[in-house]
Amino acid sequence: MRSLSHLTVPFLLLAFSAYELREKGETGMLGILLAVAGLLLFFTAVSALLRWKKAALAQEVSSRTETWWWMAAVFMLAFSTHRLVSFLFLGFLCFSALREYFSLLPMRDASEGQILSFRDRPSILVAYCMVPLSIYVAYIRWYELFIILVPVYFFLLIPILFVIQDRTEGALKSMGAISLGTLFFAFCLGHALFMINVGPMLLFFCFFLTESRDVIAFWVGKALGALTAALPEGGARRLLELRVAPTVNPRKTWAGGLLSALAVAGLAVAVRPLLPPFGGAAATREFCAVAGFAIGFFGLFGDLVFGMVKRDIGVKDTGSLLPGHGGVIDRVNGLVFTVPLTFHLFYWRFF
């Protein structure tokens, strides 16, 4: 029941979008919305069934379905109402991910050698401020500033703040952690904000493929696992078992990653008709395949990179507290890599 009550808000948003679209007479978009809603209802039913049967995958399926509900709601709102709505939604996503990142890092007094110290709080507040600032700059379509705001000006502002605080101890560690998180979540993930200007459909293309990659990778991994087990000892088996980073995640193999990326490339070509022409030129099939492959390949690293970060924190301080049950980072980790990549591929090709 709890999982269903979580879905009320996205459901209401979808209903509102449907109403708006009907009022505006955009029947084509309304058709897509209804199809998506139907599909989501089906998956919600499946996840409820799995939960009821206490299947092993129940948690996974229901959390993914919830993510999809939200994605659909945000996109449909973006289509049917003002584009500021999508800016606020995606901005809040960046903010939540950034907040979770800072909350995960252990914080003590500087002398205790933790990653953050209590004196970092003003700088962290400035880091959060980059989100609304990026929203504004993206909203007024000021590309030149958007693209250097965090990596240049925020990056330089933090050391200045540290100097004004007159501190030495742990400064390098703190500055590194703050800049890294802000670059990941306010800048890289924040590219989604500027992508709204390029077109919500491109955003949908990127989000859809990134989320699909996770599902595809799961099944490809299962299939490859079965295949490897059946193979005789030898070169072919060793090649299939070659792992990307055994310490970070023993389950990710190069073979699985590349195969999933190929599958995502195929999916990208399949959803190409949804993409509108950019600047008069439609994306070619080859271009979509390349973009899909890139999303598939780099999406793999989203998972691995944040697995590495979490492991690092865990190893240093196993008793560390993880307040909240956010899990926002777990849901956006692929997007941190795929959103800027997709954005720049399309921006470079068409603008």
Partner 1 sequence: MRALVHAVLRLLLRVIFGAAPRQTIGDWPAIVVANHDTHLDVFLVFSLFPLWRVSRVRAVAAADYFGRGFLGVGARLAFNTILVQRASGDASAALEPVREALRADCSLVIFPEGTRGEPGVLLPFKPGIGALAEEFPDVPIHPVALVGAERALPKGDPLPVPFNIEIRQLEKVYGRDLVRRHGAGARRAMAAELEARIREGLKEGEPLPPEAPAEEGA
Q: Is 281 helix (H, G, I), strand (E, B) or coil?
A: strand
CB 282 within 8 Å of CB 349: no
Separation of alpha carbons 208 and 258, rounded Å: 18
- Of 164, 235, 273, 325, the residue at the interface with partner 1 (CB under 8 A) is 325
66 is a site residue for partner 1 (CB under 8 A): no
Q: Does 24 bind partner 1 (CB under 8 A)?
A: no
In the structure encoding, which two tokens stand for residue 152, read together? 């240049």
Residues in 292-311 at the binding interface with partner 1, rule: CB under 8 A: 300, 303, 307, 310-311
Selected range binding partner 1 among 19-27, 122-130, 133-141, 278-286, rule: CB under 8 A: 122-130
Question: What is the largest distance, in Å, between two alpha-carbon atoms of the chain?
Answer: 64
Q: Would you count residue 187 as binding partner 1 (CB under 8 A)?
A: no
Of 65, 79, 99, 298, the one binding partner 1 (CB under 8 A) is 99
Nearest distance, CB of residue 220 and partner 1, angstroms:
6
Burial (CB < 10 A; 0-12, 13-18, 19+), residue 262, is middle
CB of 109 to partner 1, least distance (A): 9
- Shortest Cβ 131–partner 1 spacing (Å): 10
Paired tokens of 322: 């993880």
Cβ neighbours for 101, distance < 8 A, ≥ 6 positions apart: 181, 184, 185, 329
Minimum CB distance to partner 1 smaller for 95 or for 207: 95
Q: Can residue 102 be called a binding residue for partner 1 (CB under 8 A)?
A: yes
Tokens at 299, concatenated: 């999406």
Nearest CA to 183 out of 267, 305, 81, 61 is that of: 305
Indicate whether 241 belongs to the interface with partner 1 (CB under 8 A).
Answer: no
d(CA 64, CA 70): 10
- The interface region with partner 1, picked from 32-40, 199-207, 285-293, 323-331 by CB under 8 A, is 323-331
Q: 188 and 337 in contact (C-beta within 8 Å)?
A: yes
Provide the binding-site residues for partner 1, judged by CB under 8 A: 60, 92, 95-96, 99-100, 102-103, 107, 118, 121-122, 124-125, 128, 214, 217-222, 224-225, 248-253, 256-257, 259-260, 300, 303, 307, 310-311, 314, 318-326
